[in-house]
Structure 1
Amino acid sequence: MPDRDVSPATRRQRNRAVALLVIAGCVNYLDRSALAVGTPEIRADLHLSFEQMGLLLSAFAWAYGLAQIPAGAAIDRYGPRRALGVGLVLWSAAQISAGFVGSLTQFMTARVALGLGESPMYLGGTRVCADWFALRARALPIAIFNSSSALAPALAPPVLTVLMLAFGWRAMFVLAGLAGLGVALAWVRLYRPPHEAGIPRQDIETIHSEDTLHVVHLGLAQVAWLLQFRTAWGMFFGFFGVVYLSWMYATWLPGYLETQLHLSVASTGFWSAVPLAAGFVGAMAGGFITDFLGRSGMEAVLACRLPVILGLLVAAGCTAAGALAGSAGAAIAWLAVGLFAANAASSCGWALAAVVAPSNAVASLEAVQNIGGSLGGTLAPFLTGVVVRLTGSFTPAFLLAGAIALTCAAVYALMARRRIIAPA
């Protein structure tokens, strides 16, 4: 980890915190991905149409998005230890309950509860990194933590497919939920914030030496204050495209490979992992790129924002190329590069909030940004399902996603340019 100007004991504790976040993030996305992996079997078992399946795939994102502001405010007020602990228990229980549903309504309810429970995860994780790492050293740990959002989807297709083929899709959901309960116990027992962890006061002063003044507002007043700034709105609208693209891949890639490229269920589980594995590498690469740019002298905000813009541009082009490719191999290769770039942009987008906002407002700004992302995550699976039904092809849906990514790159370039400074 970067930032060596603290004691070895502090480095050990914060590295343990990042490790716990990565594990929790992997379980988080494993639970999200279970529905996408089980789509064909769930559709057949519950007799759902493509549009109903798209609605079900979107239910999580609606709840997740609506819960962002309350979750962010709770994290900044009560701290990530409590907020993430409660969220882990709630989402794990929701995932287990999904294994016992008998109708679309019941499944929608379970997915809504899953979205509510998972809402503090990435807001709280970014706040943990802001609490434990100095300003110029935050991008890399945030990227390492955020890479779990790509690692889990990469592991999910083969792992969950094996579980589903061996035990059925219902058992797949129950086992994933039980894993979450184990992580909840580990988080509550092992994580403490810096001021409760017994680290030297000098280390805390070193970590926050470059931070701006704390915001005096709390709760919804803090969110209202953030919305006075153009940067906050740029991150809101820009992250829409980042998450729209990644959620289209996460929710419909197995269906695309099986339906349009005519791969078997077993082959789909394997080949889905290729673009998703590239996405994991991209999420990690985003942190190293931002860290390199910052250490080379580039201003911290630009070092985070520039990779977001370039990543969205590359992802837009590669998604369009993958949609128009003439073979399965070419399509998978283009989509792998596209998801690499999209996830690099995502990592740097999360790091951007940790350098533009006062440290005690990071989770609230992340919440604002993530509401925009959740709108993209909500619309991506539903619009993709509608477009596929109307056109009989995934190609127009992929081209639409590329156009959205291109537009949101321009939003980041024009609007998310300056730090948010609290008045003295």
Structure 2
Amino acid sequence: MAADRPTGRQSFTPSSFIYSPTTHRLRVIAVGLLVAAGCINYLDRAAVAVAEPQVHQELHLSYGQVGVLLSAFAWSYGLAQIPAGTLLDRFGARRTLGVGLVLWSLAQLSATFVRSLSQFIIARIALGLGESPMYIGGTRVCTDWFALDQRALPIAIFNSSSGLAPALAPPLLTWLMLAFGWREMFLIAGLAGFAVTALWVVFYRAPENTNVPEADLAEIRRQDSADVPHIGFRQALWLLRFPTTWGMFLGFFGVVYISWLYATWLPAYLESSRHQSVASAGFWAAVPLAAGFFGALGGGFISEGLIRRGISPAAACRWPTVVGLLAAGLFTIAASQSGNVYVAIGLIACGLFAANVASSCGWALPAVIAPPNVVATLEAVQNVGGSVGGALAPFITGALIQAKGSFVPAFILAGIISFACGLIYLFGTRGKIAA
């Protein structure tokens, strides 16, 4: 096993190779399909948070039960990460993501017909299983199609769907819910998933299965480490030998925890703590979530700009992750102390911008520090830590609201977690992973 190598500022010169028009066109299609699938992915996740007031009343749920429902998705999503990563590294993105799209669309449709909390939890568990390959698969697609020093930006563009969809979800899903009902909202979202599934199966191919020139394929692979001769769960066990793997696992907990605090509870927070109507909460929730979209997109441009200045790709992804988490924690705590609803919304917007910069660059980090044939598995290990954060955030928030009658303790806790995980990325992800 090679020792971890430093990833600080190094002498690094980006490639000036010019790719063929065919490669450029197929890259645009691949990233476009990922963005579309990612938007549907997050719309499906957000549907329960938007429908929470009506689901709460119709199914007669307590805040604690709502917290359990909101966290059910994240538990199954997290537990499925490593199996999904090994499937992606073994069978490729086209087949694995295609199966995942079908499963999660069926799960979203099934929520239309639930009549009890237990049925709803089963639907959300199935949704988590189906969505588990999405973002680790997207990173693998970008690794397959882009050279090492060019991956941060396309990963950020695709990852920006995790900010764009939550920004669109509150007004769009609220409108669908008020116009047709919350059950019909789930039905429409499920059908949209099947539409994207058809596009993915028809249009996406790995570069080796297209007419991309051999010179382009060679350039894409030129800077990569040698492939690792491990497959399946042996990859995950091998990756756990590296301190950087553990730093990413623990650090990404904070990225997803603070993001899911807002993704699952922001509309309810604006309604109960800031006394907004359902329609008004749907509108104002979109403002910080839109800031999150620009943060996710901006993370890619920040990393690319650092690479152009001679910073190594690993450091160019690591430092924005650290700074983003530290800033997100500070803004979240400040928002909890504000007495003005519009100031609080502005501070939450800044916090989500920073958190999504960290998310975008954190997602790109495995693609620039590990061999291509273990990227999806490394992403999966990192995202298991994130999924634990995503599962605990809505559950702990619901429990704190029930116990304290206020969102303030939940916001302060999320800020502390985010700050601590920023420090974990700072000190725990300094090494590269190589065979």
TM-score normalised by L of structure 1: 0.99
1:65-96, Cα deviation, whole Å (9 max, x unpaired) = 00001000000000000000000000000000
| Aligned counterparts of 1:75 and 1:191: Cα–Cα separation in 2 | 15
| Aligned counterparts of 1:382 and 1:239: Cα–Cα separation in 2 | 18
| Aligned counterparts of 2:217 and 2:431: Cα–Cα separation in 1 | 26
Q: Is residue 346 of structure 1 aligned with residue 359 of structure 2?
A: yes
Q: For residue 178 of structure 1, what is the aligned residue in structure 2?
A: 191
1:197-244, Cα deviation, whole Å (9 max, x unpaired) = 121111000001000000110000011111100000000000000000
The 3-state SS of whatever aligns with 2:432 is coil
2:391 aligned to 364, 375, 378, which one?
378
1:211-290 to structure 2, matched below 5 A, reads 211-290=224-303
1:26 aligned to 39, 55, 58, which one?
39
CA shift at 1:5, angstroms?
2.3
Residue 138 of structure 1 aligns with an amino acid whose one-letter code is R
| Aligned counterparts of 1:358 and 1:171: Cα–Cα separation in 2 | 44
The 3-state SS of whatever aligns with 1:272 is helix
Q: For residue 417 of structure 2, what is the aligned residue in structure 1?
A: 404
Q: For residue 362 of structure 1, what is the aligned residue in structure 2?
A: 375
Unaligned runs of 5+ in 1: none
2:326 aligned to 310, 313, 318, which one?
313
1:55-94 to structure 2, matched below 5 A, reads 55-94=68-107
Q: For residue 15 of structure 1, what is the aligned residue in structure 2?
A: 28
Q: For residue 301 of structure 1, what is the aligned residue in structure 2?
A: 314
Runs of 4+ in structure 1 displaced over 4 angstroms? none
Residue 39 of structure 1 aligns with an amino acid whose one-letter code is E
| Aligned counterparts of 2:155 and 2:146: Cα–Cα separation in 1 | 10
The 3-state SS of whatever aligns with 2:431 is coil
| Aligned counterparts of 1:166 and 1:43: Cα–Cα separation in 2 | 19
Q: For residue 216 of structure 2, what is the aligned residue in structure 1?
A: 203
Tell whether the 8 Å contact from 1:60 to 1:111 is kept in structure 2 after alignment.
yes
Q: Is residue 169 of structure 1 aligned with residue 182 of structure 2?
A: yes
Tell whether the 8 Å contact from 1:22 to 1:145 is kept in structure 2 after alignment.
yes
Tell whether the 8 Å contact from 2:17 to 2:219 is kept in structure 1 after alignment.
no
| RMSD, aligned α-carbons | 0.8
Q: For residue 206 of structure 2, what is the aligned residue in structure 1?
A: 193
CA shift at 1:299, angstroms?
1.3
The 3-state SS of whatever aligns with 1:9 is helix
Q: How many residues align?
A: 421
The 3-state SS of whatever aligns with 2:113 is coil
The 3-state SS of whatever aligns with 2:170 is helix
The 3-state SS of whatever aligns with 1:393 is coil
| Aligned counterparts of 2:193 and 2:17: Cα–Cα separation in 1 | 33
| Aligned counterparts of 2:310 and 2:71: Cα–Cα separation in 1 | 42
TM-score normalised by L of structure 2: 0.96
| Aligned counterparts of 2:332 and 2:16: Cα–Cα separation in 1 | 37
The 3-state SS of whatever aligns with 1:99 is helix
Tell whether the 8 Å contact from 1:3 to 1:133 is kept in structure 2 after alignment.
no
| Aligned counterparts of 1:17 and 1:207: Cα–Cα separation in 2 | 15
1:110-129 to structure 2, matched below 5 A, reads 110-129=123-142
Tell whether the 8 Å contact from 2:148 to 2:224 is kept in structure 1 after alignment.
yes
Tell whether the 8 Å contact from 1:315 to 1:342 is kept in structure 2 after alignment.
yes
Q: For residue 95 of structure 1, what is the aligned residue in structure 2?
A: 108
Q: Is residue 336 of structure 1 aligned with residue 349 of structure 2?
A: yes
| Aligned counterparts of 2:42 and 2:18: Cα–Cα separation in 1 | 34
Tell whether the 8 Å contact from 1:135 to 1:355 is kept in structure 2 after alignment.
yes
Residue 411 of structure 1 aligns with an amino acid whose one-letter code is I
Q: Is residue 45 of structure 1 aligned with residue 35 of structure 2?
A: no
Unaligned runs of 5+ in 2: 1-14
Residue 278 of structure 1 aligns with an amino acid whose one-letter code is A
1:148-197, Cα deviation, whole Å (9 max, x unpaired) = 00100000000000000000000000100000001001101100000001
Tell whether the 8 Å contact from 1:279 to 1:339 is kept in structure 2 after alignment.
yes
Residue 230 of structure 1 aligns with an amino acid whose one-letter code is P
Residue 31 of structure 2 aligns with an amino acid whose one-letter code is V
Tell whether the 8 Å contact from 1:5 to 1:206 is kept in structure 2 after alignment.
no
Q: For residue 5 of structure 2, what is the aligned residue in structure 1?
A: none
